[in-house]
Chains A and B, each alone.
Chain A
Amino acid sequence: MSFTGPTKYREEAAKILRETPEVRTSVTAATRTFDAHRIRAWEQIDAESWRDWARDVKTHALGNLDAYLEQAEEQLTANGAHVHWAETADDALAILSEVVRDHGIESTVKAKSMLSEELGVNKHLEGLGVHVRETDLGEYIIQLLDQPPSHIVGPAIHLSVDDCRRLFHEKLGTPLDAEPDELAGAARDALRAEFLAADLGISGGNFLAADSGTVALIENEGNIRLSTSLPRVHVAFVGIEKLVPRLEDVSGFLQLTARSATGQPIGNFVSLIQGPRKSDEVDGPEEVHVVLVDNGRTKLLADDVAWEALRCVRCGACLNICPVYRQTGGHAYGWTYSGPIGAIIAPGMLGLEEAMPLPFASSLCGACTDVCPVRIPIPELLVHWREQAARQGLTPATETLGLKAYTKLAQSPELFAVANSMLRHVPLELAGRALPVLNGWIQERAAPTSSKKSFLEMWKEGIE
């Protein structure tokens, strides 16, 4: 199943709420758990100062991105890795095709990588006749279901234990009442054979340290270590915004990201990969390819307001706190990245028209700013994209005209009072004909009742 695209957000969200209300229950429980863990983990550290530092390092890195990219390429090459530059998704996939051809790749094991989802790597490999296996347990589950991921950190949070029991019973033959331990054990056995047989391992990259040429990867299961160690070739797709100036900076980001994502001091397994196996090592890939990917990131970087979104470390904390995301999970957003971060990068990377209405899929409550470890001012960026949408004529004409009319009224107190009086006497249902957007209100809520007299009228008459 491929993504439905952001433009269908409203329908998809409504469908999920109407037809599969258990998703809302699962997602609410999962995100509240993640957030509780993050709160506890942040209490153990000086979170405010740490977030300031992380924001400043990333801002600095982005401000000097060209220099750091060059340095990273130099270092990775000196480490024996092959560095490729991919401006578009097609470029990235072409590079992958070449690696597949050059090495006669027949089967791949994949570590969880949102970028690889974004690029459509799996579908492309299958098209080349290569067997692809997702090895992260959550990704494995949704691969079996042929669904896209629902959350940046926990791809299967929209599913319950029973959903998993039924799936594993069908695909792996486990009993219908199997405990999670047993289910995980069955997955482990099935995937182990694949790890050992695969000739190519594919990963993303959480961070790329420029001074040492290091791709850093965080996980809990060990599948990333296995995918990047066992097969003879490793391809890492790394978004250019993942650059961090120094290996020692990575120490701060590994910890802050883990604390923000799952509440751990650090991910259970961290891989720091410099390049292919060295002559004094007994195992490891013979070739390591690092593909530096743009795919719309430079477009975001060029935007004077939205560039801040590139600081994102993909911890998912904003998804976990977002009251809008919580109602539906990620599928409603129709794209790789959902929740608040998805809403602010989609317009830059997909183009605003394709990304609509995501910048409007928010009540601007600001909870995300409380939790973002790199202090991205998400509501500010959402309003920025809304401005662009209005300028580009992507919002309904009735909305534009309605707001213009309202503005005129608001500058003329007498007319404002007349409108007030009209609204008191004209039911909202009728007003909804002139302003269709108001029908949205009536669909889900009782129409509000105006006060018998406006406050300003009461004041004129005197208040006891």
Chain B
Amino acid sequence: MLERVREALSDREPLPHPGTFEGWRSTATPDPVDGLVQLLEDAGGEVVRQPSIDAAAAWLASFCADFESSAVGETVPLLLHPPLPPGAPDTAPLGVSLARGAVAETGSLIMDARDGRRAQLLVPTHVVFVYAAHVYATLREALIDLADDLPSAIGFHSGPSKSADIGQILVKGVHGPGRLIAVLIESEG
């Protein structure tokens, strides 16, 4: 098959790679974190900002009062485990994950397979912790960084699951989580 490709290209002058394209935006967002929050909220996600891990843990404790169990990601620090009995990803009403980072330009949370894919995808309500220090301004920067240490899969989650396939009307929560809450932790200390 490669031979066919080579043959097809044999009399053509190849164009060199144009390199990196810097100018994604005509207007720049002043602060990456604000940009991230704006886009996540525009996409139907919810954003909670907490100054520290302790504050985030306190928020979580009160948030999960209405849930019976939760599926927790492998990389979530113990302090951020919800005070709930553990549940299987396919039955728990709540999932809690730690994002590897986030991308301001696209409003995306970076979900690493090592955290556990099922808990990121099967739960109806998904709480994702992300440190402000791990927010990349652009997708390109994020990918360059991620390339050094790639798991089997990375997911970029930019909002709750949605579809407009039924008569162009937007519905949420089709397959992935219908409710996405990003908890932005300002400082890791």
Interface string of A11-33 (1 = CB under 8 A from B): 00000000000000010011001
Residues of A within 8 A of B175 (CB): 135, 188, 191-192, 195, 221-223, 226
* Cβ-defined partner of A63 (8 Å) among B9, B106, B169: B9
Q: Is B113 on the interface with A (CB-CB < 8 A)?
A: yes
Q: Is A268 on the interface with B (CB-CB < 8 A)?
A: yes
CB-CB contacts below 8 Å: A288-312 with B: 288, 292, 294, 298-299, 301-302, 304, 307
Q: Is B159 on the interface with A (CB-CB < 8 A)?
A: yes
Q: Which of A46-54, A95-103, A121-129 contacts B (4 or more CB under 8 A)?
A: A46-54
Interface string of A44-67 (1 = CB under 8 A from B): 111001101100110110011110
A85–B2 Cα distance when bound, in Å, is: 9
Contact A225 B155 (CB under 8 A): yes
Q: Is A240 on the interface with B (CB-CB < 8 A)?
A: yes
Q: Which of B57-65, B79-87, B138-146, B181-189 contacts A (4 or more CB under 8 A)?
A: B138-146
Give the interface residue-count category, chain A. Answer: 35 or more
A46–B120 Cα distance when bound, in Å, is: 34
A282–B6 Cα distance when bound, in Å, is: 42
A251–B162 Cα distance when bound, in Å, is: 22
* Cβ-defined partner of B39 (8 Å) among A160, A187, A265: A265
Contact B107 A154 (CB under 8 A): no
CB-CB contacts below 8 Å: A236-295 with B: 240, 245, 247-248, 250-252, 254-255, 262, 264-278, 280-284, 288, 292, 294
* Cβ-defined partner of B117 (8 Å) among A225, A270, A294: A225
A159: nearest chain-B partner, CB-CB: B167
Residues of A within 8 A of B160 (CB): 268
* Cβ-defined partner of A49 (8 Å) among B5, B8, B21, B147: B21
Q: Is A199 on the interface with B (CB-CB < 8 A)?
A: no
A156–B105 Cα distance when bound, in Å, is: 31
Contact B143 A221 (CB under 8 A): no
CB-CB contacts below 8 Å: B132-189 with A: 138-140, 142-144, 146-147, 150-169, 171-177
A277–B16 Cα distance when bound, in Å, is: 35
Residues of B within 8 A of A45 (CB): 24-26
Contact A283 B174 (CB under 8 A): no
Contact B43 A214 (CB under 8 A): no
Q: Is A400 on the interface with B (CB-CB < 8 A)?
A: no
* Cβ-defined partner of A265 (8 Å) among B16, B107, B142: B107
Contact A221 B8 (CB under 8 A): no
Q: Is A113 on the interface with B (CB-CB < 8 A)?
A: no
Residues of A within 8 A of B78 (CB): none
Q: State whether A64 and B158 are in contact (beta carbons under 8 Å apart), knowing that A49-B21, A265-B39 are contacts in the complex.
A: no
CB distance from B84 to the nearest CB of A (A): 19
B162: nearest chain-A partner, CB-CB: A220
Q: State whether A220 and B140 are in contact (beta carbons under 8 Å apart), knowing that A269-B155, A283-B118 are contacts in the complex.
A: no
A240–B20 Cα distance when bound, in Å, is: 23
A182: nearest chain-B partner, CB-CB: B171
Residues of A within 8 A of B150 (CB): 79, 212, 214, 272, 274
A85–B5 Cα distance when bound, in Å, is: 12
* Cβ-defined partner of A266 (8 Å) among B107, B120, B121, B146: B107
Q: Is A70 on the interface with B (CB-CB < 8 A)?
A: yes
Q: Is A164 on the interface with B (CB-CB < 8 A)?
A: yes
Q: Is A427 on the interface with B (CB-CB < 8 A)?
A: no
Contact B153 A271 (CB under 8 A): yes
Contact B152 A275 (CB under 8 A): yes
Q: Is A396 on the interface with B (CB-CB < 8 A)?
A: no
Contact A229 B121 (CB under 8 A): yes
Contact B174 A187 (CB under 8 A): yes
Q: Is B34 on the interface with A (CB-CB < 8 A)?
A: no
Residues of A within 8 A of B173 (CB): 184-185, 188
CB distance from A194 to the nearest CB of B (A): 11
Contact B16 A60 (CB under 8 A): yes
Contact A220 B163 (CB under 8 A): yes
B20: nearest chain-A partner, CB-CB: A248
Contact B2 A66 (CB under 8 A): yes
Residues of A within 8 A of B21 (CB): 49-50, 53, 252
Residues of A within 8 A of B113 (CB): 229, 277-278, 281, 283-284
Q: State whether A282 and B165 are in contact (beta carbons under 8 Å apart), knowing that A63-B12, A184-B173, A268-B158 are contacts in the complex.
A: no
Residues of B within 8 A of A195 (CB): 175
Q: State whether A281 and B139 are in contact (beta carbons under 8 Å apart), knowing that A184-B174, A230-B118 are contacts in the complex.
A: no
Contact A221 B140 (CB under 8 A): no
Residues of B within 8 A of A222 (CB): 121, 161, 174-177
* 5 pairs of A and B residues whose beta carbons are closest in the complex: A222-B176, A63-B14, A161-B167, A138-B165, A302-B8
Can you list 7 pairs linking A and B with CB atoms under 8 Å apart?
Answer: A137-B174, A212-B150, A248-B143, A268-B161, A281-B151, A283-B113, A302-B8
